[in-house]
Amino acid sequence: MDDVELLSSFVVPCRYDHASEGQFREIRDRRLRVQLEKAYENVPYWHDLMDDARIRPGEIRTVDDLSRLPLSTKDQIVSRPTRDRLGSDPSKLIQRYTSGTTGPPMEVYYSIGFILSTLIYLHGHFRRWYGLGRMFKVLQISSVSPAAPSLVSKPGEAARSPAWQRRARGEATRPGAAIFWPAIDRFVRSVHFERRIETVLPVIKTFAPDVIMINASYLRMLADYAGETVESVRPKVLISTGEPLDEPTRSYVERRLGSPVCQMYGSNETGSLALDCLEGRNLHIFSDRAIVEVLSKEGEPVRPGEMGEIVVSELLNQGMPLLRYKMRDLGYASSEVCPCGRSLPLLKSVEGRQIDCIATRDGRLVTPKRILALMHSAEGLPRCQLVQRSRDSFTLRVFPWSGVRDPNPDGLISELVGALRSELGSQVDISVSRVQVDEPPKRKMRPVIVQMSSRPEPYPIS
Ligand SMILES: [Zn+2]
């Protein structure tokens, strides 16, 4: 992104919240043209893709022309050497990995301008959308140690910046670092746990965050095990990330922890893409920063209210540009207007990864979010995972370690099996298997796993 863009995001971080259609068009078209030109000039992957498709970057002038550009998948992008997908030398960029929940982790790179503008953008949006003070504190909770080696910490201990660690050891730091890093440390912390989420409670208590960012399933665990601690701190908002948030979980967590739950959608590759407002609890797309398309199997935009695959063109990261990138997530398009009055368009719902969708005999796709909603419809159910073995054969794995309050959950489990059968078709066979492990898994657990050897792609876009 150029300096003017960066400066403007510093000065007015929420300037497009109430933008008109014309203003959106203007900023998106302009940023798209710059991004395409730079990608063509500096990044071999995009240069070759456009050459192969016989497109010159100047021919795509507006968002309406974007459909001429072919879609790209993660596999296509990682099939090229790393340098071929970067806009500059990797030593000038900031590197992270994707989670690798569905395949090998992918190295992703951000320009420093992109990181800065994202931080400022999110700071402005959290503050204004959730009514926070200027100096609010954010705690990020995850189950894996932060990817940057300099931030590695022990489970249950807040990760500290490298400069903070050097200062703690009495070593010299760069000029300015003595002010900058402690200031960041004061307001942003990240902590991880292995298996037991209770280990992060001391950090929550002492740091007293205004915002907690956490995966939806861990948020549920936090509500199971940490009700009193979180309630005593009373964060202003809990932000669920990384997994679809089902409505039973949202209301369960809000009831137990006493703070509103909002969701943020995005990925490590693309950065943050959409955020829930407090008033309508609707996911507003950061339309000035990214173009989000929801496409049918034919590759056409779906109608509002219909489900399709989410495809993203990120407009600001010139470190590793991503254009018409298939997120492999399904979501619902929307043309609704949010009661909060913001004009940032809505993404009605993010339903989860398409490879975790179950194709029913009558041709429907049952999404992970739908299955999660059924699994969470009754309180007192232990944690479950649905495994599809063949078209009509499923195993419901039940984990006895997890949050069982009802000493005899058998009744609830058979109710769940009934609900799953009416969702998936009465002909399906669902066997229940109790998984005899004492401890929760180390990493996040997918609610649905499809283990069929010859399985057609559930949502191929032609
Ligand atoms: Zn809203």
Give mean pLDDT, residues 130-151.
Answer: 78
How much distance in Å is there from the Cα of 417 to the middle of ligand 1? 36
Within this chain, do residues 185 and 321 fall inside the same structural domain, yes or no? Answer: yes
The reported pLDDT for the residue numbered 168 is: 65
How much distance in Å is there from the Cα of 334 to the middle of ligand 1? 13
How much distance in Å is there from the Cα of 23 to the middle of ligand 1? 19
How much distance in Å is there from the Cα of 409 to the middle of ligand 1? 38
The reported pLDDT for the residue numbered 179 is: 66
> What is the CB neighbour count within 10 angstroms for residue 75?
11
pLDDT above 70 coverage of the chain, percent: 84
Count Cβ atoms within 10 A of the Cβ of residue 339 and give its class: 0-12 exposed, 13-18 middle, 19 or more buried: exposed
Q: What's the maximum distance between 2 C-alpha atoms anywhere in the chain?
A: 69
The reported pLDDT for the residue numbered 385 is: 93
How much distance in Å is there from the Cα of 278 to the middle of ligand 1? 7
Where residue 148 falls among pLDDT bands split at 50, 70, 90?
very low
Tell me whether residue 456 is in a domain: no
The reported pLDDT for the residue numbered 405 is: 58
- Looking only at the bridges linking them, the beta strands covering 429-434 and 393-399 are parallel
pLDDT at 380 over 90: no
The reported pLDDT for the residue numbered 378 is: 84
How much distance in Å is there from the Cα of 254 to the middle of ligand 1? 19
Tens of pLDDT, residue by residue over 73-96, are: 999 999 999 999 999 998 889 887
How much distance in Å is there from the Cα of 343 to the middle of ligand 1? 8
How much distance in Å is there from the Cα of 307 to the middle of ligand 1? 20
Tell me whether residue 460 is in a domain: no
Domain containing residue 35: CATH number? 3.40.50.12780
How much distance in Å is there from the Cα of 449 to the middle of ligand 1? 33
How much distance in Å is there from the Cα of 274 to the middle of ligand 1? 11
How much distance in Å is there from the Cα of 43 to the middle of ligand 1? 36
Give mean pLDDT, residues 138-155.
Answer: 67
Tell me whether residue 47 is in a domain: yes
Give mean pLDDT, residues 219-227.
Answer: 84
Distances (CA, A) of 440 to 194, 203, 245, 263, 369: 9, 21, 20, 24, 21
How much distance in Å is there from the Cα of 269 to the middle of ligand 1? 25
The reported pLDDT for the residue numbered 26 is: 94
pLDDT at 56 over 80: yes
The reported pLDDT for the residue numbered 176 is: 64
How much distance in Å is there from the Cα of 124 to the middle of ligand 1? 15
The span from the first CA to the last CA of the chain, in angstroms, equals 32
CA angle (387 as vertex; 389, 439 as ends), nearest 5: 135
How much distance in Å is there from the Cα of 336 to the middle of ligand 1? 10
Q: Which residue has better confidence, 109 or 196?
A: 109
Residue at which a domain ends, from 335, 352, 369: 352
pLDDT at 443 over 80: no
Full-model pTM: 0.90
pLDDT above 90 coverage of the chain, percent: 60
pLDDT at 226 over 50: yes
pLDDT at 415 over 60: yes
Give mean pLDDT, residues 52-59.
Answer: 94
pLDDT at 268 over 70: yes
pLDDT at 97 over 90: no
Within this chain, do residues 375 and 344 fall inside the same structural domain, yes or no? Answer: no
Within this chain, do residues 376 and 348 fall inside the same structural domain, yes or no? Answer: no
How much distance in Å is there from the Cα of 283 to the middle of ligand 1? 7
Residue 140, H or E segment: strand 138-142
How much distance in Å is there from the Cα of 129 to the middle of ligand 1? 9
pLDDT at 166 over 50: yes
What b/e sequence results for 12-49 when a residue is b if at least 16 CB atoms lie within 10 Å of its CB, and e otherwise? ebbebbebeeeebeebbbebbbbbbebbbeebebbeeb
How much distance in Å is there from the Cα of 275 to the middle of ligand 1? 9
Within this chain, do residues 341 and 368 fall inside the same structural domain, yes or no? Answer: no
> What is the CB neighbour count within 10 angstroms for residue 179?
11
Domain extent at residue 91? 3-352
Tens of pLDDT, residue by residue over 290-320, are: 999 999 999 999 999 999 999 999 999 999 9
Tell me whether residue 300 is in a domain: yes
Within this chain, do residues 369 and 338 fall inside the same structural domain, yes or no? Answer: no
The reported pLDDT for the residue numbered 363 is: 87
Q: What is the mean pLDDT of the chain?
A: 87
Q: Are 134 and 127 in contact (CB under 8 A)?
A: yes
Q: Are 359 and 450 in contact (CB under 8 A)?
A: no
Within this chain, do residues 98 and 207 fall inside the same structural domain, yes or no? Answer: yes
Within this chain, do residues 74 and 97 fall inside the same structural domain, yes or no? Answer: yes
Tell me whether residue 459 is in a domain: no
How much distance in Å is there from the Cα of 49 to the middle of ligand 1? 37
pLDDT at 155 over 50: yes
The reported pLDDT for the residue numbered 317 is: 95
Q: Which residue has better confidence, 222 or 8?
A: 222
pLDDT at 199 over 90: no
The most confident of the ranges 38-52, 181-195, 209-223 is: 38-52
Tell me whether residue 455 is in a domain: no
How much distance in Å is there from the Cα of 21 to the middle of ligand 1? 16
Within this chain, do residues 395 and 248 fall inside the same structural domain, yes or no? Answer: no
How much distance in Å is there from the Cα of 344 to the middle of ligand 1? 8
Give mean pLDDT, residues 223-251.
Answer: 89
How much distance in Å is there from the Cα of 24 to the middle of ligand 1? 17
How much distance in Å is there from the Cα of 260 to the middle of ligand 1? 14
How much distance in Å is there from the Cα of 17 to the middle of ligand 1? 10
Q: Which residues pair with 307 in a beta bridge?
A: 332
Within this chain, do residues 50 and 68 fall inside the same structural domain, yes or no? Answer: yes
Give mean pLDDT, residues 414-439.
Answer: 91
Within this chain, do residues 18 and 151 fall inside the same structural domain, yes or no? Answer: yes
Give mean pLDDT, residues 51-72.
Answer: 95
Q: How many domains does the chain have?
A: 2
pLDDT at 386 over 50: yes
pLDDT at 453 over 80: no
How much distance in Å is there from the Cα of 337 to the middle of ligand 1? 8
How much distance in Å is there from the Cα of 273 to the middle of ligand 1? 15
The reported pLDDT for the residue numbered 331 is: 97
How much distance in Å is there from the Cα of 114 to the middle of ligand 1? 25
Give mean pLDDT, residues 21-49.
Answer: 95
Within this chain, do residues 317 and 369 fall inside the same structural domain, yes or no? Answer: no
Residue at which a domain ends, from 310, 325, 352: 352
Residue at which a domain ends, from 352, 383, 411: 352
How much distance in Å is there from the Cα of 365 to the middle of ligand 1? 28
Where residue 221 falls among pLDDT bands split at 50, 70, 90?
confident
How much distance in Å is there from the Cα of 279 to the middle of ligand 1? 6
Tell me whether residue 87 is in a domain: yes
Tell me whether residue 462 is in a domain: no
How much distance in Å is there from the Cα of 340 to the middle of ligand 1? 4
Domain containing residue 393: CATH number? 3.30.300
How much distance in Å is there from the Cα of 341 to the middle of ligand 1? 6
Within this chain, do residues 386 and 337 fall inside the same structural domain, yes or no? Answer: no
